[in-house]
């Protein structure tokens, strides 16, 4: 096992997967395995709006730039806090497809041996409406997927 992809959505729940990934890499050997901390940047509603001719116009380019810069800072902060001492890299993806597809395609392209991700434990209507990224990744992944339940 040479390459493990660990996903994050920057939520507290996503951190459940980090300890599991570190333990696994220690069992394999820190020098034998690389970790990629992966974040697929979510699309957000416009918050920077200007008014011209009575119409609201979002400055999408500026917003996307700010979002990407914030995500870059955040993923580096998380990686240094949780994966310091391990061989790791961070990757941000600006999605053109659903999040689960971006994760699956990244794993394929990078020849990942394993994907580790947390589950958010959505059930009922929330699960039906929002779906489960983890569930879809498990179904379509080119490699094994470990889903880690949220730690209480």
Is residue 58 in a domain?
Answer: no
Q: What are the CA-CA distances from residue 31 to residues 2, 18, 35, 42 (Å)?
A: 9, 18, 11, 33
Q: What domain range includes position 78?
A: 3-43+71-148
Is residue 66 in a domain?
Answer: no
CATH number at residue 18: 3.40.50.620
Is residue 53 in a domain?
Answer: no
Is residue 51 in a domain?
Answer: no
Is residue 62 in a domain?
Answer: no
- Residues 67-76 have pLDDT tens digits of 889 999 999 9
User: Rounded distance, CA 140 to CA 138, Å?
Assistant: 6
Edge to edge, what strands does the sheet with 88-93 contain?
A: 88-93, 34-40, 3-7, 114-118, 145-148
Is residue 111 in a domain?
Answer: yes
Number of structural domains the chain divides into: 1
Is residue 86 in a domain?
Answer: yes
- Residues 33-62 have pLDDT tens digits of 999 999 998 755 444 555 555 555 555 566
Quote the pTM value.
Answer: 0.83
State residue 111's pLDDT score: 96
Please state the rounded mean pLDDT for residues 96-122. 91
Is residue 61 in a domain?
Answer: no
């Amino acid at each position: 096992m040479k390459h493990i992809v660990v996903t994050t959505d920057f939520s507290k729940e996503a951190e459940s997967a980090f300890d599991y990934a570190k333990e696994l890499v220690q069992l394999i050997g820190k020098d034998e395995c690389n970790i990629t901390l992966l974040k697929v940047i979510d699309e957000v509603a416009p918050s920077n709006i200007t008014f011209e001719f009575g119409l609201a116009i979002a400055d999408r380019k500026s917003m996307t730039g700010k979002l990407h810069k914030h995500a870059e800072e955040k993923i580096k902060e998380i990686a240094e806090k949780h994966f310091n001492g391990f061989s790791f890299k961070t990757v941000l993806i600006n999605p053109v497809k659903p999040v689960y597809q971006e994760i699956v395609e990244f794993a394929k392209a990078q020849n990942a041996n394993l994907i580790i991700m947390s589950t958010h434990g959505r059930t009922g209507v929330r699960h039906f409406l929002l779906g489960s990224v983890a569930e879809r990744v498990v179904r379509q992944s080119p490699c094994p997927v470990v889903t880690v339940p949220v730690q209480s």
